[in-house]
């Protein structure tokens, strides 16, 4: 008999799918995206590998209301629509921040009362537009200075600390079901700035402000990942809030070295493990999944390579580090970009001479599937003796499973499961070469 924990882990011989691995561990693995790039290989990977999307810029104030009273939702809509089509969650980013504000707002010279109304109206408009479609909002972004005091932003200077409570209340009123977060950077480990955040959050809770979670951006540097990350996440969770790693990247000096990539792999794994270790950590989001879509080289000249995929969407050691931290043990390569379905093979039960396996086909593409085929090899002499929900044939080690008439159609983001009984004469290693292809 397999231990119960083993039985629920997918055995992915065709390489890991981060969103599925994360699901089995009870967290969500997300990525920030650029709306205009959500086609081709970039779109395929974003849809296939990640369980949540954060618009990198498209929901910021300067993007949605570049001139007063004139809204532009196309980029934000694109991300939300894409996420819905792929069964993904959405992190809304961000309602109130000191940066990327339109100049009509920063240069408007508004008196305090008017500025407060502008802020709450903005929250009502944006969170209201996406009511029921955004799972988490970064309501207030980066409210702290490095010493842990409140940042002297436009908002704080004009409105005082109460802008934060007002922002959360306006967000709750606009979308009662969204989880409301405060989000900041350099607050990942214990220290003066995270102490300031902790004190702020405690004050908000004491005032009955509707806050649900704390986001830790985790814009990190190789060799400098805080040792106290897990302890820090835990102390916020112990306040009765959810926590999340919201903008993870781990940058290094360019050009990259093998040693740097190896260290980065270990550190992506370590951050992922820290989230898994804290019961109220709901997930990790990487700030861009590919080095070609990362803000780091522009913002920190001479540094980069901060994400799990390289410029050509080839997974880096960091990608494998994440997958391994999520429990992946199989070999094989990640599914090629462009495949529009993924498949997992899970041994559900095992006895002396046989086993039962379930295989789940997921539509990771952008169009409904009309037919699918899964192939793999059983390398230790296992033989399929019975199957359901698919027509399964075997020739030596090679197994082919084709959809039944009634489960050929799979909507985008949807999945179907088929199963089999097999005989075995010895060990029952996971299949190799597990691959899903689509029909006509
Ligand atoms: C960054 C974007 O990735 C860039 O494209 C943009 O030019 C600047 O902002 N903390 C945040 C994010 O909360 O919104 C920032 O995103 C990165 C730092």
With the most atoms of ligand 1 within 8 angstroms of its CB, the residue from 30, 37, 56 to mutate is 56
Domain count, the chain: 2
Q: Which of 296, 325, 354 is the last residue of a domain?
A: 325
With the most atoms of ligand 1 within 8 angstroms of its CB, the residue from 136, 186, 247 to mutate is 247
How far apart CA 173 and CA 209 sit, in angstroms, is 12
How far apart CA 227 and CA 62 sit, in angstroms, is 36
My answer on whether 289 and 434 are in the same domain is no
- Residues 275-289 as b/e (b if ≥16 CB within 10 A, e otherwise) read bbebebbbbbbbbbb
My answer on whether 301 and 433 are in the same domain is no
Whether residue 336 is contained in a domain is answered as: no
| Residue 57 CB less than 6 A away from ligand 1 | yes
Query: How many A from CA of 55 to the centre of ligand 1?
Result: 10
Which conformational region is residue 191 in: left (phi greater than 0), alpha (psi within -120 to 50 degrees), or beta? left
List the pLDDT tens digit at each of the 440 positions of the chain: 333 323 222 333 357 899 999 999 999 999 999 999 999 999 999 999 999 999 999 999 999 999 999 999 999 999 999 999 999 999 999 999 999 999 999 999 999 999 999 999 999 999 999 999 999 999 999 999 999 999 999 999 999 999 999 999 999 999 999 999 999 999 999 999 999 999 999 999 999 999 999 999 999 999 999 999 999 999 999 999 999 999 999 999 999 999 999 999 999 999 999 999 999 999 999 999 999 999 999 999 999 999 999 999 999 999 999 999 999 987 655 545 556 788 888 888 899 899 999 999 988 777 788 889 898 889 899 999 999 999 999 988 889 999 999 999 998 888 899 999 999 998 898 888 888 887 54
In tens, the pLDDT along 343-376 reads 888 888 899 899 999 999 988 777 788 889 898 8
Query: How many A from CA of 295 to the centre of ligand 1?
Result: 7
Whether residue 2 is contained in a domain is answered as: no
Helix axes 162-174, 192-206, angle to 10 degrees: 60
Kindly state the tokens that stand for 193. Answer: 């700035």
| Residue 187 CB less than 6 A away from ligand 1 | no
My answer on whether 243 and 306 are in the same domain is yes
Kindly state the tokens that stand for 25. Answer: 């561990």
Atom of ligand 1 nearest to the CA of 60: 14
Cβ neighbourhood burial of 150 (10 Å; 0-12, 13-18, 19+): middle
Query: How many Cβ atoms are within 10 Å of 310's Cβ, its own excluded?
Result: 17
Report yes or no: 94 and 101 within 8 Å, Cβ to Cβ.
Answer: no
Q: Which of 299, 325, 351 is the last residue of a domain?
A: 325
How far apart CA 366 and CA 283 sit, in angstroms, is 24
Whether residue 368 is contained in a domain is answered as: yes
My answer on whether 380 and 350 are in the same domain is yes
Whether residue 114 is contained in a domain is answered as: yes
Q: For atom 12 of ligand 1, which residue has the closest CA?
A: 56
Q: Which domain holds residue 412?
A: 341-438
Q: Which of 298, 325, 352 is the last residue of a domain?
A: 325
| Residue 88 CB less than 6 A away from ligand 1 | no
My answer on whether 238 and 101 are in the same domain is yes
Residues marked active site are found at 142, 247
My answer on whether 293 and 370 are in the same domain is no
Query: How many A from CA of 93 to the centre of ligand 1?
Result: 10
| Residue 217 CB less than 6 A away from ligand 1 | yes
My answer on whether 309 and 351 are in the same domain is no
My answer on whether 215 and 139 are in the same domain is yes
Tell me, yes or no, if the pTM score tops 0.85.
Answer: no
Number of H helices, E strands in the chain: 14, 20
Handedness of CA 81, 83, 87, 91 (dihedral sign): negative
How far apart CA 352 and CA 333 sit, in angstroms, is 31
My answer on whether 289 and 395 are in the same domain is no
Query: How many Cβ atoms are within 10 Å of 85's Cβ, its own excluded?
Result: 16
Distance in Å from the first CA to the final CA of the chain: 40
My answer on whether 127 and 77 are in the same domain is yes
| Residue 295 CB less than 6 A away from ligand 1 | yes
Closest-CA residue to 16 (of 317, 324, 284)? 324
How far apart CA 138 and CA 121 sit, in angstroms, is 16
Q: For atom 9 of ligand 1, which residue has the closest CA?
A: 57
Handedness of CA 141, 147, 151, 156 (dihedral sign): positive
CATH of the domain at 370: 2.60.40.290
Whether residue 138 is contained in a domain is answered as: yes
Whether residue 10 is contained in a domain is answered as: no
Kindly state the tokens that stand for 165. Answer: 């409570």
| Residue 413 CB less than 6 A away from ligand 1 | no
Kindly state the tokens that stand for 392. Answer: 């399964």
In tens, the pLDDT along 69-124 reads 999 999 999 999 999 999 999 999 999 999 999 999 999 999 999 999 999 999 99
My answer on whether 279 and 412 are in the same domain is no
Query: How many A from CA of 197 to the centre of ligand 1?
Result: 20
Report yes or no: 261 and 13 within 8 Å, Cβ to Cβ.
Answer: no
Report yes or no: 72 and 66 within 8 Å, Cβ to Cβ.
Answer: yes
My answer on whether 195 and 276 are in the same domain is yes
Query: How many A from CA of 285 to the centre of ligand 1?
Result: 13
CATH of the domain at 144: 3.20.20.80
- Residues 210-236 as b/e (b if ≥16 CB within 10 A, e otherwise) read bbbbbbbbbbbbbeebbeebbebbbeb
Q: What is the reported pLDDT for 370?
A: 86
How far apart CA 8 and CA 111 sit, in angstroms, is 58
């Amino acid at each position: 008999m397999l231990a119960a924990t083993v039985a629920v882990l997918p055995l992915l011989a065709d390489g890991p799918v981060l969103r599925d691995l994360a699901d089995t561990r009870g967290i969500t693995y997300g990525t920030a995206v650029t709306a205009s790039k959500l086609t081709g290989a970039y779109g395929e990977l974003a849809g296939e590998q990640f369980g949540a999307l954060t618009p990198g810029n498209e929901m910021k104030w300067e993007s949605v209301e570049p001139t007063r009273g004139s809204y532009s939702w196309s980029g934000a809509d694109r991300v939300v629509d894409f996420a819905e089509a792929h069964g993904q969650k959405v992190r809304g980013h961000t309602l109130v921040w000191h940066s990327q504000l339109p100049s009509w707002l920063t240069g408007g010279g508004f008196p305090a009362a008017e500025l407060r109304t502008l802020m709450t109206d903005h929250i009502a408009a944006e969170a209201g537009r996406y009511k029921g479609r955004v799972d988490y909002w970064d309501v207030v972004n980066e409210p702290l200075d490095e010493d842990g005091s409140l940042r002297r932003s436009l908002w704080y200077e004009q409105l005082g600390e109460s802008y934060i409570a007002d922002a959360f209340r306006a967000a709750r009123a606009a979308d009662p079901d969204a989880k409301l977060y405060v989000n900041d950077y350099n607050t990942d480990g214990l220290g003066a700035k995270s102490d300031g955040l902790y004190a702020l959050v405690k004050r908000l809770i004491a005032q009955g402000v509707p806050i649900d979670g704390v986001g830790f951006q985790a814009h990190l540097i190789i060799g400098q990942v805080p040792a106290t990350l897990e302890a820090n996440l835990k102390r916020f969770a112990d306040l009765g809030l959810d926590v999340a790693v919201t903008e993870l990247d781990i940058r290094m000096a360019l050009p990259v070295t093998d040693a740097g990539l190896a260290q980065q792999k270990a550190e992506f794994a370590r951050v992922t493990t820290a989230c898994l270790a804290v019961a109220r950590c709901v997930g990790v989001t990487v700030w861009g999944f590919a080095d070609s879509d990362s803000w780091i080289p522009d913002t920190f000249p001479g540094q980069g390579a901060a994400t799990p995929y390289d410029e050509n969407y080839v997974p880096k050691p960091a990608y494998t580090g994440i997958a391994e931290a999520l429990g992946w043990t199989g070999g094989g390569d990640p599914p090629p970009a462009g495949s529009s379905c993924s498949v997992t093979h899970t041994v559900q039960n095992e006895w002396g001479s046989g086993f039962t396996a379930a295989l789940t086909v997921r539509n990771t593409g952008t169009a409904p599937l009309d037919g699918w085929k899964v192939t793999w090899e059983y390398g230790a002499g296992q033989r399929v003796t019975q199957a359901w929900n698919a027509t399964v044939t075997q020739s030596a080690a090679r197994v082919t499973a084709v959809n039944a008439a009634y489960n050929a159609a799979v909507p985008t983001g949807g999945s179907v499961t088929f199963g089999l009984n097999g005989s075995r004469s010895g060990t029952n290693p996971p299949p190799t070469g597990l691959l899903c292809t689509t029909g006509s």
